[in-house]
Amino acid sequence: MIWEGTQIPLIGPQGIFKPKVLPEIPLTITTSPESPYRDEYNPSDQYLLYKYRGTDPDHRDNKGLRAAMIKNVPLIYFFGIVPGKYMPVWPVYIIGDDPAHLTFKVAVDEKMQGQDGSPMKKSYRVRDSSIEDPKRRYLTIQTRHRLHQQQFRERVLRAYQEQCAMCRLRHSELLEAVHIIPDAEPSGDPIIKNGIALCNLHHTAFDRFVLGIRPDYVIHVREDILKEKDGPVLLHGLQNLNDQKIQLPHSQENYPDPSRLEVRYQKFKSFAA
């Protein structure tokens, strides 16, 4: 970022970053994929929880975030998706401080715009943090969900070497990270072992139970689909996959969870019956 002719970095080696040009308040907060600090959310109100720098509440970085809360100053939040890749969220506000648990409470807000639709540079929404704000909470929940889904996608695609596990298509813009157990269900965690990298076609076929994957990683195409005759796409895109094994990640710890595949395969069998 360039400010008054000076290049200002946005991310530093520590999670709470204050460039030298700022006198007191940090500019950004960052969650690294490899960070020892585990940032979570408060289950009671769904706001983000950001860990202190260290354990001293009076560390200068913690005092800086406390000042941002008191003065209601917006920050930029960089969420680590995978090593070397971050998603920026702006503006976020520190709306709570919990020294007993060494955490700050963080809310996402909407960008303020002028009458011409351009972002306002010097005017920010001022709110009383002690008052419940449904819009901020909604935006925070939606942002957290989007960030975690993007993190899930990046990690799954990397585990599968950026290719479809069924047809080995390598165009990332046509690839998706597919949940074995949907994320709305109890075992639908956004983790690699609950994911498979599939292209658009095979993602849809998997979701619609046109095909299933057994716990031994073998693909089974629905019987009625195998009997159809409808050109080369059906033949090469679906029918020829029957009894083939999916392409697995290099690391065995990233293999699809057989127990989750079994649950999903039983649903497939009920549709195929």
Residues 120 and 6 in one domain: yes
Residues 129 and 166 in one domain: no
Give Cβ neighbours of residue 248 (< 8 Å, ≥ 6 apart).
165, 217, 255, 256
Could you tell me whether strands 103-108 and 48-51 are parallel, antiparallel, or unpaired per DSSP bridges? antiparallel
Residues 121 and 194 in one domain: no
Amino acid at 152: F
Q: What local confidence, expressed as pLDDT, does residue 167 receive?
A: 96
Distance between CA atoms of 61 and 54, rounded to whole angstroms?
A: 9
Residues 172 and 242 in one domain: yes
Domain final residue, candidates 109, 135, 153? 153
Residues 82 and 134 in one domain: yes
Backbone angles phi, psi at 170, to 5 degrees: -110, 10
Q: What local confidence, expressed as pLDDT, does residue 67 receive?
A: 95
Residues 211 and 268 in one domain: yes
Residues 175 and 194 in one domain: yes
Q: What local confidence, expressed as pLDDT, does residue 174 receive?
A: 96
Residues 59 and 141 in one domain: yes
Could you tell me whether strands 28-31 and 75-82 are parallel, antiparallel, or unpaired per DSSP bridges? parallel
Domain limits for position 189: 161-272
CA atoms within a 13 Å half-sphere pointing along the CA-CB vector of 189: 8
Helix H or strand E segment including 217: none
Is the CB of residue 162 less than 8 Å from the CB of residue 175?
A: yes
Strand partners, 28: 17, 76
Residues 6 and 140 in one domain: yes
Residues 10 and 135 in one domain: yes
Domain final residue, candidates 153, 187, 206? 153
Give Cβ neighbours of residue 272 (< 8 Å, ≥ 6 apart).
209, 212, 222, 223
- Tens-binned pLDDT, residue by residue, of the chain (273 aa): 666 666 777 777 778 988 877 778 999 999 887 654 455 777 778 899 999 999 999 999 999 999 999 999 999 999 988 888 899 999 999 999 999 999 999 999 986 544 444 444 443 444 444 455 888 989 999 998 888 889 999 999 999 999 999 999 999 999 999 999 998 888 898 899 999 999 999 999 999 999 999 999 999 999 999 999 888 889 999 999 999 999 999 999 999 999 999 999 999 999 877
Give Cβ neighbours of residue 142 (< 8 Å, ≥ 6 apart).
none
Helix H or strand E segment including 271: helix 258-272
Q: What local confidence, expressed as pLDDT, does residue 35 receive?
A: 57
Residue 9, helix vs strand vs coil: coil
Domain final residue, candidates 108, 130, 153? 153
Neighbours of 144 (CB within 10 A): 19
CA atoms within a 13 Å half-sphere pointing along the CA-CB vector of 174: 12
> How far does the chain reach from its first CA to its final CA, in angstroms?
59
Residues 121 and 214 in one domain: no
Is the CB of residue 249 less than 8 Å from the CB of residue 162?
A: no
Domains contained in the chain, number: 2
Backbone angles phi, psi at 221, to 5 degrees: -90, 140
Residues 39 and 138 in one domain: yes
Q: What local confidence, expressed as pLDDT, does residue 43 receive?
A: 76
